[in-house]
Amino acid sequence: MGRRLRDFWQRVSEGIEIRVLWSQFFSEARDSYSLYNHEVDWDALKSKSRFRQMRGAASALFWAMLLKLSPARRVFLLIALVLGILSLMGGTATTNHGQVETHPVSPVIPMAMLVFLLALELADRVVMKRDLEIAREIQRWLVPSVPPQVPGFDIAFISKPANTVGGDYYDVFPLDAERPPGEGNPLLLVVADVAGKSVPAALLMATFHACLRSVVAGANSLTEIVVRMNRYACSHSLEGRRFTTAFLAELDPATRVLTYVRAGHSDPFLLRASGQFERLDAGDLPLGINPNAPYRSSEIHLAPGDLLLIYSDGLIEALNEREEEFGEQRVMDILRNAPPEPAERTLQRLLAGVQSFTGQSRQYDDITAIVLRVA
């Protein structure tokens, strides 16, 4: 019997410690409450008495949850709740020739109804999860899985969506696809972040990829690429509500000159071999806001031992259980203390720092980063 209980608990908990399980449950409960909390008009409740505040909040939260179900399931849930209340009260009452007769309601019936309703919701979630996994696989096809081999440079990248699919995009490829990157064939590095999360952002991320690849083929300069990308983004931005921040850089391996355009994106960090930090902060508006916005390029010269980090804001805005942000300073400290090592190792060191800081807190935003180290 004891062994069966241990096997059962192992299967249910997947071997996770009680402390970690409780932390995960608390985090998920907090996220769920935040979802429903936005539908409660707390300002309207402030003027009422404490009892009316509690009753109004409970009513608003109940309706917020109920309306998430389909109409048929709402009715089914209400019936289960009514039967559950009657079972607690001792059943139903009828009169028969002046005498009161009670008909007990078994609590098994409402419990079974609730379990059945839960099974229906889980089935929907499994189907949706399967579709999202397929979408995630498609997203993976759109971005490179292995960095290009460029003489004199070491490149690594990673992207971790907050949900199954995300709105972050990265790419590293030679401008001339017919030749390997190197002398006379510059390398394009891109990190972009579509406003929003999950499926809507993922769809725009896919269109960003398609547009970028088609625009690069006919453009003569990096600024021309960005201008064309902006015009396309403006035509699909829902009047500016779905804008995209982006950082695009053209690297000439022969001269080590990096030409870049920052369109409202987070400032990349450049750690010089001397230990000094520089921010690539020259920039303009995000893509998709103004179709006539001018975009200017800037240049920096890289030297042996330099380290460049291009990232999305999900990295520095990662939150721990106290709602504190990981922040830029922690990123710079990790990069500064990292020994000379492959770019992949530095990237993993950075992600490990984020994971240690956030602990069991849920990831709220996509995290994408490219690390480039000059040999």
Run of H or E residues at 103: strand 99-103
Q: How far apart are CA 190 and CA 251, in angstroms?
A: 11
The confidence score (pLDDT) of residue 363 equals 82
Tokens of 125: 């979630």
In Å, how far from its chain's centre is CA 61?
Answer: 26
Answer yes or no: are the C-beta atoms of 350 and 333 closer than 8 Å.
no
Q: How far apart are CA 249 and CA 190, in angstroms?
A: 7
Per 3-state DSSP, the chain is made up of helix, strand and coil in percentages (nearest 5) of 45, 20, 35
Q: Is 372 exposed, middle or buried (0-12, 13-18, 19+ CB in 10 A)?
A: buried
In Å, how far from its chain's centre is CA 315?
Answer: 10
Q: How far apart are CA 358 and CA 95, in angstroms?
A: 62
- The residue type of 202 is A
Per-residue pLDDT of the chain (375 residues; tens, 9 = 90+): 777 887 777 787 777 777 777 777 777 777 777 777 777 777 777 777 878 878 887 888 888 888 888 899 999 999 988 888 887 776 555 555 555 555 566 788 888 989 999 898 888 888 888 877 887 787 788 888 889 888 889 999 999 888 777 788 999 998 876 777 766 789 999 999 987 777 777 888 888 888 888 888 877 889 999 999 998 888 876 665 678 899 999 999 989 999 999 999 999 999 999 889 999 988 889 998 888 888 999 999 999 999 999 999 999 999 888 888 999 999 999 999 988 899 999 999 999 999 999 887 778 888 999 999 998
User: Which strand ranges, in their side-by-side order, compose the sheet holding 277-279?
Assistant: 153-160, 367-374, 307-311, 269-271, 277-279
Q: What angle do CA 133, 137, 139 make, to 5 degrees?
A: 115
Q: How far apart are CA 84 and CA 114, in angstroms?
A: 10
Q: How far apart are CA 206 and CA 27, in angstroms?
A: 31
Q: How far apart are CA 260 and CA 296, in angstroms?
A: 9
Backbone angles phi, psi at 230, to 5 degrees: -65, -40
Segment 211-220 long-range contacts (CB within 8 Å, at least 24 positions apart): 212/171, 216/175, 216/188
In Å, how far from its chain's centre is CA 373?
Answer: 26
The confidence score (pLDDT) of residue 104 equals 66
The confidence score (pLDDT) of residue 213 equals 86
Residue 238 Rama label (left phi>0; alpha psi -120 to 50; beta): left
- The residue type of 192 is A
Instruction: Determine the number of helices (DSSP H) and then strands (DSSP E) in the chain.
Output: 10, 12
The CA-based dihedral angle spanning residues 328, 258, 299, 192, taken in that order and rounded to the nearest 10 degrees? -50
> pTM (2 decimals)?
0.76
Q: How far apart are CA 254 and CA 231, in angstroms?
A: 32
Q: Is 108 exposed, middle or buried (0-12, 13-18, 19+ CB in 10 A)?
A: exposed
Instruction: Taking the CA atoms of 128, 134, 140 and 142 in sequence, report the sign of the dihedral they define.
Output: negative
Q: Closest Cα to residue 190, out of 372, 354, 23?
A: 372
Task: Give the count of beta carbons closer than 10 Å to the beta carbon of residue 51.
Answer: 8
The confidence score (pLDDT) of residue 237 equals 67
Task: State the fold for domain 154-374.
Answer: Phosphatase 2c; domain 1 (3.60.40)
The confidence score (pLDDT) of residue 132 equals 77
- Where helices occur in the chain by DSSP H, the ranges are 2-13, 18-37, 42-45, 50-66, 71-89, 108-142, 198-218, 222-235, 327-337, 343-358
The confidence score (pLDDT) of residue 97 equals 59
Q: How far apart are CA 237 and CA 230, in angstroms?
A: 10
